[in-house]
Amino acid sequence: MSQDLDRIDRAILHELQLDARLSNTALAGRVALSESACLRRVRNLENSGMLRAYVGLVDQSMAGYPDNVFVQITLKSQQRDDLAAFEAAVAELPEVMECYLMSGMSDYLLRVIVEDARDYERIHSNTLTQLPGVDRVHSSFALRTVIKRTEVPIRRMGPAR
């Protein structure tokens, strides 16, 4: 659920998405607010859940995982308990960076990071096919990343303050 944001809230979110290490003083200067008003707005964004966390982005390749594999998984059953069992198990896999419940031909789409094809073969054989309820696994290696954004565009805007 998104909330109504004015241009200053949007500016704060934009700046923090670019650099979450900004001091409140620097952030206030960039969005043309006093430090106290800026801090109050940041706290409001945090308390509302709009601003969820501050993270450092690690270079995937430098961490030893240069390849992305997109994996479509179809389960034997789509009963609520079966979906929950799969989701709980897949959440424990550190190489699974994203998992989406899908409409269409497969039930789930995963982004798995790996060192190379051999590493993926190990994960495929020892882990993915052993997850609860898995019927089919279809994998595609990404050849190259074209776009990978971390900044979410902020669209909701309420009345100007």
Other Cβ atoms within 10 Å of 48 Cβ, number: 14
**In the chain, where the domains are located:** 7-48, 67-141
Answer CATH for 67-141 from 3.30.70.920, 3.40.50.720, 3.40.50.620, 2.40.128.30: 3.30.70.920
**Which CATH architecture does the domain made up of 7-48 adopt?**
Orthogonal Bundle (1.10)
Q: Residue 158: its pLDDT value, please? A: 52
pLDDT per residue of the chain (161 residues) written in tens, 0 to 9: 446 899 999 999 999 999 999 999 999 999 999 999 999 999 999 999 999 999 999 999 999 999 999 999 999 999 999 999 999 999 999 999 999 999 999 999 999 999 999 999 999 999 999 999 999 999 999 999 999 999 999 886 555 44
CA angle 105, 82, 88 (to 5 degrees): 100
For 55-72, give the DSSP string: -PPP-TTTTT--EEEEEE
Whether 48 contacts 5, CB under 8 Å:
no
What is the predicted pLDDT for the residue at 87? 98
Question: What is the three-state SS of 80-142?
Answer: HHHHHHHHHHHCCCCCEEEEEECCCCCCEEEEEEECCHHHHHHHHHHCHHHCCCEEEEEEEEC
**pTM of this prediction?**
0.86
Q: 3-class DSSP state for residue 54?
A: coil
